[in-house]
Amino acid sequence: MPESSAARSAVAASGLEVDLGFLKLRNPVIGASGLFGVETGNVSDLSRLGAVVTKTQFLGTRPGNALHRMTETPAGLLNSVGIPCLGVEHFVDVEWPLWRHAGCPVVVSIGGERFEDYFDLAERLDALPEVAALEVNISCPNQAAGGLEFGADPRDVERVVSGVRRRTLLPVIAKLTPNVTRIADIALAAEAGGAHALCAVNTVLGMALDIRTQSSRLGSLRGGLSGPAIRPIAVRAVWEVAQSTRLPVIGTGGAESPEDVLEFVLAGAAAVGVGTAVLYSVRQVERMPGDLRRLLSEIGVGSLDELRGSLRQSRLSQDVTAG
Ligand SMILES: Cc1cc2nc3c(=O)[nH]c(=O)nc-3n(C[C@H](O)[C@H](O)[C@H](O)COP(=O)(O)O)c2cc1C
């Protein structure tokens, strides 16, 4: 049964609110890009979430990658969906009117194969009513750089983000790839480009091979790993990013319980993206804000603000490179 508006305002007054500066969320649970479609609202109450991010939109149509697009691994999902897309005009005319009824702030994710794609998309979406923010997916392959992700080069990151900022008044979230040597450098480049917030992280590059057919288990060779397998990587990335920039960070990667959400907050996250967990149980994700409230009181913490950044450094934990 849907939560009443009275119950929802009780959540809002319970220490779960998040102020990203440009956007206030009633709780920190954000539906991550690519896992929530407008149709998700038919089977769950999206208004219980703090916000939701659309799957990445491109200017034109994209067929997506060859099958198979997903394969299970021991603790995560490897995907090579390739972000199929019907193009921005379809999004504006058909999808956005439905998204506007989600009942929570909706962030639109944008991607591109060239720098100009990002800029043109930002300008096109700027006029859309009620877009909460743009999330810039810089994990897309840059055609001009032989397929290297935009997000792998700090100069490209600054160029994408600053170009998007110039073409829209909407707040801009830069979504970082974990597939880099020093994610703090990338975060600083996004900050220099004018990002209002950062999301860390997108999927971790991986491969899964079938020894009997001597081929990839996916239609492409490499895919993106998500789910619990990447949570320690994501928590570490959030901590490094939060230490190096003053921007709010949306921690994303393998969160599937209220405990996981608080782990990200302890590492410095302002809010937490939940993606793959929705494939196991959309209900569990929907219940997370309520469960979080109970968990906070169980561990004797009054609010997320109280927990954020309160990580105690032990002598051993200072040695971050220890094997
Ligand atoms: C099937 C699938 C599709 C995804 N599509 C997108 C996408 O369109 N844009 C994007 O920025 N991230 C996309 N992601 C990445 C997620 O938003 C998230 O960053 C990543 O999966 C880690 O979080 P999780 O472990 O909670 O899923 C996708 C992930 C999966 C598994």
18-19 and 215-216: which strand pairing?
unpaired
Rounded to the nearest angstrom, the distance between the alpha carbon of 80 and the centre of ligand 1 is 10
> What are the C-alpha distances in Å from 127 to residues 100, 131, 170, 315?
14, 9, 9, 52
Ligand 1 atom 29: residue of nearest CA: 34
Could you tell me which residues are beta bridge partners of residue 241? none
Q: 239 near 269, Cβ under 8 Å?
A: no
CB atoms within 10 A of CB 242: 25
Query: Which ligand 1 atom lies nearest to the CA of residue 175?
Result: 11
Is residue 104 part of the annotated active site? The answer reads no
The predicted pLDDT at position 10 comes to 44
Ligand 1 atom 3: residue of nearest CA: 34
Ligand 1 pocket mutation, candidates 62, 175, 179, 226, criterion most atoms within 8 A of CB: 226
Pocket of ligand 1 contains residue 54 by CB under 6 Å: no
Catalytic residue among 85, 104, 140, 199: 140
Q: 249 near 226, Cβ under 8 Å?
A: no
Query: Which ligand 1 atom lies nearest to the CA of residue 277?
Result: 26
The predicted pLDDT at position 321 comes to 59
> What are the C-alpha distances in Å from 138 to residues 53, 114, 171, 264?
15, 11, 16, 22
Pocket of ligand 1 contains residue 14 by CB under 6 Å: no
Query: Which ligand 1 atom lies nearest to the CA of residue 228?
Result: 25
Rounded to the nearest angstrom, the distance between the alpha carbon of 274 and the centre of ligand 1 is 9
Query: Does the N-terminal peptide bond of residue 101 adopt cis geometry, omega within 30 degrees of 0?
Result: no
Length in residues, the chain: 323
Query: Which ligand 1 atom lies nearest to the CA of residue 69?
Result: 1
List the pLDDT tens digit at each of the 323 positions of the chain: 344 444 444 444 568 999 999 999 999 999 999 999 888 888 889 999 999 999 999 999 999 999 999 999 999 999 999 899 999 999 999 999 999 999 999 999 999 999 999 999 999 999 999 999 999 999 988 888 878 899 999 999 999 999 999 999 999 999 999 999 999 999 999 999 999 999 999 999 999 999 999 999 999 999 999 999 999 999 999 999 999 999 999 999 999 999 999 999 999 999 999 999 999 999 999 999 999 999 999 999 999 999 997 898 765 555 555 55
CA torsion through residues 294, 295, 297, 303, sign: negative
Pocket of ligand 1 contains residue 80 by CB under 6 Å: no
Q: What is the dihedral of CA 99, 100, 106, 107, to 10 degrees?
A: 80
CB atoms within 10 A of CB 146: 7
Rounded to the nearest angstrom, the distance between the alpha carbon of 313 and the centre of ligand 1 is 31
Could you tell me which residues are beta bridge partners of residue 224? 79, 205
Rounded to the nearest angstrom, the distance between the alpha carbon of 140 and the centre of ligand 1 is 12
Query: Which ligand 1 atom lies nearest to the CA of residue 34?
Result: 5
| Structural Rg of the chain based on CA atoms | 19
> What's the predicted TM-score (pTM) here?
0.94
The predicted pLDDT at position 148 comes to 85
Could you tell me which residues are beta bridge partners of residue 176? 200
Rounded to the nearest angstrom, the distance between the alpha carbon of 216 and the centre of ligand 1 is 20
Rounded to the nearest angstrom, the distance between the alpha carbon of 8 and the centre of ligand 1 is 27
> What are the C-alpha distances in Å from 263 to residues 119, 181, 238, 304?
35, 23, 10, 11
Ligand 1 pocket mutation, candidates 33, 65, 67, 134, criterion most atoms within 8 A of CB: 33
Pocket of ligand 1 contains residue 137 by CB under 6 Å: yes
Mapping DSSP onto H, E and C, the string for the chain reads: CCCCHHHHHHHHCCCCCEECCCCEECCCEEECCCCCCCCHHHHCCHHHCCEEECCCECCCEECCCCCCCEEEECCEEEECCCCCEECHHHHHHHHHHHHCCCCCCEEEEECCCCHHHHHHHHHHHHCCCCEEEEEEECCCECHHHCCCEHHHCHHHHHHHHHHHHHHCCCCEEEEECCCCCCHHHHHHHHHHCCCCEEEECCCEEECCEECCCCEECCCCCCEEEECHHHHHHHHHHHHHHHHHCCCCEEEECCCCCHHHHHHHHHCCCCEEEECCHHHHCHHHHHHHHHHHHHHHHHCCCCCHHHHCCCCCCCCHHHCCCCC
> What are the C-alpha distances in Å from 172 to residues 10, 28, 66, 186, 311?
29, 18, 31, 15, 28
